[in-house]
Amino acid sequence: MSEKQPTKPDHRSRPNNEQFKTFIASGWAPRPTDLPEQAEVARWTPARRAVVSEAFPGERLVMPAGGLKVRSNDCDYVFRPHTAFSHLTGLGADREPDAVLVLEPSEEGGHDPILYFRPLAPRDSEEFFADSRYGEFWVGSRPTLESMAAELGLETRHIDQLGDALAKDAGQVALRVVAEADADVAALVEKVRAESGLGTTEAQLTAAAEADAELARMCSTMRLVKDDWEKDQMRLACEGTARAFDAVVADLPEAKKRGRGERWVEGVFGLHARHHGNGVGYDSICAAGDHANTLHWIRNTGDLRDGDLLLLDAGIEVDSLFTADVTRTLPISGRFSDVQRRIYEAVYAAQQAGIAACRPGNRFKDVHAAAIRVIAEHLHEWGLLPEGVDVEATLDTDTGQYHRRWMVHGTSHHLGMDVHDCAQALREDYMDAELRPGMVLTVEPGLYFKADDQLAPEEFRGIGVRIEDDILITEDGCENLSAMIPSRADDVEAWMARILDGGA
C-alpha cells in the first residue's frame, strides 16, 4: 500500500454553489474593447529577435519569462521576467509570469515570434474569483490575447497550447531553451526531446545542455551593444538615480537623528526608485563608517554619524528593466576631513584614469588596468606596499597584486537590463574584447581600509571610498551618463551644502 501524500493546508473559504458562481459572474460593466497602441519598444525588438534567428536557423527557440516565486507560504515575490525574455519581447516591470516566447522556424526562412501567456480569464471562470495567484479579484486584470498582440506586434496564443507547439515535428526540428529561466518549461522541453528519442542517452543529454547554454549565452552576449532606445532607457535610469541621490542628501539630518540611519537612506532612495521606475536595480548598499569596507554591505543597520563617510551604491531600475549603478561616497557632516579627502582624491584620480580609457578600440580590461595603476601608485607613495615592491612589481599578475588588499574588486562591468549585464558572455567577448560604440559599463575603483587593518595607517582605518559612474562608449570616446551627480571632492561638498542649506 502506497504512503498517502500529505495535502497542503488551505485556510481560505470559497463558496462553490452554483447560485453563488452565477451571482459573482454577473452585474459587471462590459470590459473595454479598445486595443492599446503599439509600444515604442516594439519598433526595436524585431531587430533583436533577428540576431537570434540568424544564429540558429531552422531551430525552435524557447525563451521563458519564468514563473512566480514563493516568498513565504502563499505570498509571492514581486515578479520580474527573465532578462532574455524581456529583451526580445519588450515586456518589463512585473510582466508576464509564466509567459514563453517561441521563435518558430518559418518555411520562408527566419523565425515567426509567438508569445504564449495566460490571458485574462472570463468572469464565469474559477480563476476570476477564486485563484489568489492569478485571479483578477486578487492581482488585477491581465491582458487579452488581442491586446497583447496589439501592444507588442506579436502573434499571441494561450499558454495551454505551448506543450503541443513544442512537440510539433519533434525529432525533425531542433529545440533549444533558455533553461535557467523556468525549470518547468525546461522540464517540458526535456520531455519533448525524450519522447522524440533525442534526449535519452548521456551523449544526447550533454549535447542538449550545451545547445541550451549556447542559446542563453547568445541572448546574453547580444546585449553588449545597446541600440538607441536602450541608450535612452539608460539615460532615464541615471536621471532618476540623480534625483534620488539629491533626496538622500536632503534627508541626511533626519537619517542621523532617527538611528539606523543606513535604513533611512535605503528607504529614501527606494521611495524615489519606486516612484520614478520599477524599483531599485539591486539591493542598495548604504554603508556608513567601517561598513563601507564590506563590499556588499546590504544589511544597512548602522547609524549615521558626523565625521564618518556614507558610501551609497544604488541605482534605479526603470520599467523597461534597464538600471543605473552609481556610487558616491559622501561626508555625512558635509565636509571631508583631511585624511578622508586624501583617500577620496586618490580614488577620484583612479576613476578619471579609468574613464579616460573608455574609448572604442581599447579593450574592456584596459579600463581596470588604467584605474588600478593609479591606485597602486598612491599605495606605493603612502608606503603601504611590502618592502621592495614598487608599482610595476605589484601590478605583475603572477608575482604581485599586493595592492588588492585595499582594492579587491574589478573596476568595471557591463551594465544594462541586469546590473551585471551580459554575464554569460565568453571571456573573449567580454574581458578581452574591444570596446565598441553602444556598450555601457561602470567605472568604480575604490580604496578600503578596514578598522582592524594593522597594515594601514591608523588614521586610514575605518575609511572606505568608492566612486562609480555609468559610461556609454561613443564613436569617438565616451559619455558619462551619471555625470550630473557630483563626484569631485570640492563639487561634492558644494552640492551637499547647496541642498542642506536650502539652496543658499
The cell for 345 is 582624491
* pLDDT at res. 200: 82
- 299-312, pLDDT tens digit by residue? 999 999 999 999 99
Domains of the chain, residue spans: 35-221, 228-500
Q: What are phi and psi of 62, to 5 degrees?
A: -120, 120
Distance CA 488, CA 480 (A): 14
Looking at this protein, which amino acid is placed at residue 15? P
Distance CA 222, CA 484 (A): 29
Quick one: CATH architecture of 35-221? Answer: 3-Layer(aba) Sandwich (3.40)
Please tell me whether residue 23 adopts helix, strand or coil conformation.
Answer: helix
Fold of 228-500: Creatine Amidinohydrolase (3.90.230)
* pLDDT at res. 175: 96
CB-based contact 460:259 (threshold 8 Å): no
Question: In sequence order, what DSSP letters do the residues of 156-211 get, joined into one string?
Answer: EEEGGGHHHHHHTTBTTB-EEE-GGG-HHHHHHHHHHHHHTTSSSSHHHHHHHHHH
Burial class (CB in 10 A: 0-12, 13-18, 19+), 203: exposed
The cell for 103 is 521563435
CA angle 189, 190, 192 (to 5 degrees): 65
Could you say which residues of the chain have pLDDT below 70? 1-12, 503-504
- 112-151, pLDDT tens digit by residue? 999 999 999 999 999 999 999 999 999 999 999 999 999 9
The cell for 184 is 518547468
Please tell me whether residue 417 adopts helix, strand or coil conformation.
Answer: coil
52: CB partners within 8 A, 6+ apart: 61, 88, 103, 111, 215, 218, 219, 222
Question: In sequence order, what DSSP letters do the residues of 46-78 get, joined into one string?
Answer: HHHHHHHHHHSTT-EEEEE-----EEETTEEPP
* pLDDT at res. 194: 93
The cell for 476 is 569617438
Distance CA 21, CA 291 (A): 57
Task: Give, as one character, the DSSP assignment of residue 453.
Answer: -
CA angle 249, 254, 259 (to 5 degrees): 115
Distance CA 29, CA 459 (A): 70
Assess whether the previous peptide bond of 96 is cis (omega < 30° from 0).
Answer: yes
